[in-house]
C-alpha cells in the first residue's frame, strides 16, 4: 500500500485505515477499498484488508481474554470470543491504550442477556455477569492511584488517626465470585457456585493486590470509613445496625484491626 501511488496524503490514508479496522464493514465497500488499497499478485484489495481486520480483532479479543481470564474459563474460549466480538462491534476501542477495553463489558453482558425480559432470570447468567464485574473491579485496581512509596498505618497507630488508603475498594456480588476466580488462577476447574451474597474488599499494597472476603458487619464498618467516618463512629453505626452492645463491637474491631493493618487497609 503506497500513499503516493494511490494519490492520498498519508494522514488521510492512516485515518481511513483506522476506521476500516475499528469499524470493520462500515467503510469497506469494494470501490472504497480499491481507492485506498492496491491488490497484490495473489490477493485482492479486499483480501489484503481482511488480513489486517482479522489480526486487529484477534489482538483485541486476546486482550479481553487477559482482562477476563476466569470468565473466559467459565464460558469456554469459543463462546467468550463470540461475546467479545459482539461487544467490540457495539463498543469499538476508542483509546490509544487497551487498558480501558473491557470497561463496558459487564454492563453489556447484563443488557444483552437472553432472559432480560423474563420474570425469572437464569442463575448461571447472573453468575457470569457478576464474575465479569468482579474481574473488571479487580483489573482497574492495578492502575488505580495508590499509596506506594508512602507509609502505611502500623499497629501502634491510634485508632483516631486511621483512614482507608486510596487504593481500596468495596463490592457486593450475588455469588462468591472471588473464590471461583482464585480457583481458576490456581489452574483448577471449579464448579459454578450456588448463589450466595458475597462482600469483598480489594486493596493494593506495595503493588500487590489483595482480595478479602468480608462478613456483613465488616463490610458496613469499612463502608462507613470509606464515607469518612472515624473508627469510633463506624463502631457506633455497626453496633446500632446489628443490635450489638458497644463492647461487642469494640471486641470485634480488635479482632479485625491487626490483620487489616498488616494487609495495608489503612494509612495514618
Question: Do the bridges between strand 266-267 and strand 198-205 make them parallel or antiparallel, or are there none, so unpaired?
Answer: unpaired
Structural domains in the chain, CATH included, are 10-94 (no CATH), 146-267 (3.90.930.50)
26-68 pLDDT, tens per residue? 445 555 655 556 666 675 656 555 555 665 678 899 999 999 9
Residue ranges of the chain with per-residue pLDDT less than 70: 1-41, 43-56
- Backbone dihedral region for residue 214 (phi beyond 0: left; psi -120 to 50: alpha; all else: beta): beta
3-state helix, strand, coil split of the chain in percent (to 5) is 55, 10, 35
Q: Provide the pLDDT for residue 33.
A: 58
Q: Provide the pLDDT for residue 94.
A: 77
Q: Provide the pLDDT for residue 43.
A: 59
Cell, residue 125 = 447468567
Q: Provide the pLDDT for residue 58.
A: 84
Rounded CA separation 213/181 (Å): 13
Q: Provide the pLDDT for residue 125.
A: 97
Q: Provide the pLDDT for residue 2.
A: 44
Amino acid at each position: 500500500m503506497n500513499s503516493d501511488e494511490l494519490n492520498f496524503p498519508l494522514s488521510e490514508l492512516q485515518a481511513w485505515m483506522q476506521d476500516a479496522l475499528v469499524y470493520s464493514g462500515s467503510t469497506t465497500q469494494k470501490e472504497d477499498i480499491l481507492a485506498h488499497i492496491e491488490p497484490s499478485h495473489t490477493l485482492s484489495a479486499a483480501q489484503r484488508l481482511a488480513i489486517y481486520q482479522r489480526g486487529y480483532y484477534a489482538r483485541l479479543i486476546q486482550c479481553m481474554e487477559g482482562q477476563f481470564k476466569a470468565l473466559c474459563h467459565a464460558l469456554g474460549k469459543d463462546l467468550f470470543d463470540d461475546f467479545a466480538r459482539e461487544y467490540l462491534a457495539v463498543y469499538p476501542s476508542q483509546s490509544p491504550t487497551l487498558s480501558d477495553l473491557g470497561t463496558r463489558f459487564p454492563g453489556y453482558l447484563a443488557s444483552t442477556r437472553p432472559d432480560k425480559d423474563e420474570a425469572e432470570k437464569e442463575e448461571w447468567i447472573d453468575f457470569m455477569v457478576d464474575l465479569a464485574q468482579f474481574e473488571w473491579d479487580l483489573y482497574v485496581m492495578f492502575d488505580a492511584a495508590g499509596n506506594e512509596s508512602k507509609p502505611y498505618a502500623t499497629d501502634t497507630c491510634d485508632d483516631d488517626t486511621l483512614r482507608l488508603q486510596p487504593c481500596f475498594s468495596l463490592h457486593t456480588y450475588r455469588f462468591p465470585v472471588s473464590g471461583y476466580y482464585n480457583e481458576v488462577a490456581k489452574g483448577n476447574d471449579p464448579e459454578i457456585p450456588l448463589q450466595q451474597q458475597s462482600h469483598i474488599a480489594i486493596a493494593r499494597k506495595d503493588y500487590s493486590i489483595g482480595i478479602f472476603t468480608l462478613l456483613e458487619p465488616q463490610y458496613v464498618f469499612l463502608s462507613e470509613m470509606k464515607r469518612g467516618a472515624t473508627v469510633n463512629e463506624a463502631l457506633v453505626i455497626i453496633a446500632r445496625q446489628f443490635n450489638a452492645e458497644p463492647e461487642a463491637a469494640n471486641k470485634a474491631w480488635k479482632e479485625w484491626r491487626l490483620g487489616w493493618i498488616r494487609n495495608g487497609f489503612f494509612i495514618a
